[in-house]
Amino acid sequence: MVNRHSIIPETTTPVELAEKLGASPRYVQDKVRALGCYCKIGGKVVMRDHHVEMFMKAMECHSNSICAAKSGTTGDPLPEGNYAALQARLKKPAPKGSKRKSNKGRGNVVSMGQGRV
């Protein structure tokens, strides 16, 4: 006779996973939905073992920098060359508002006073 419990895979929900990880349930649910690492059975969202592994792998920090965890920087080069080029660009005076445009057709002023005939 086949044991029915061996047929049913072990599952967890995003809320249960969040509780185990000590994270916000809303954050875990949003990430699970964005990654697509879940099974939907009716209205219930469940995660199997390989879904949990996929989620955990996506949440790993992939930075090679030792200082990235402390400072949050990646050490990538600046987009326009080096630091000196960035400093030179930032020292340029900012434009003082938009340029004035000449008003070409001011129109005729018509008096609405009583002296009008």
| Span 93-115, pLDDT tens digits | 766 777 777 777 767 777 787 76
Distance between CA atoms of residues 112 and 117, nearest Å? 10
Does residue 90 have a pLDDT over 70? yes
The answer to whether position 34 is within a domain reads yes
The answer to whether position 104 is within a domain reads no
pTM > 0.85: yes or no: no
The answer to whether position 95 is within a domain reads no
The answer to whether position 78 is within a domain reads no
Contact of 12 with 52, CB cutoff 8 Å = yes
Distance between CA atoms of residues 49 and 9, nearest Å? 9
Q: How many domains does the chain have?
A: 1
- Which domain does 50 fall in, by range? 13-59
Distance between CA atoms of residues 79 and 65, nearest Å? 19
The answer to whether position 2 is within a domain reads no
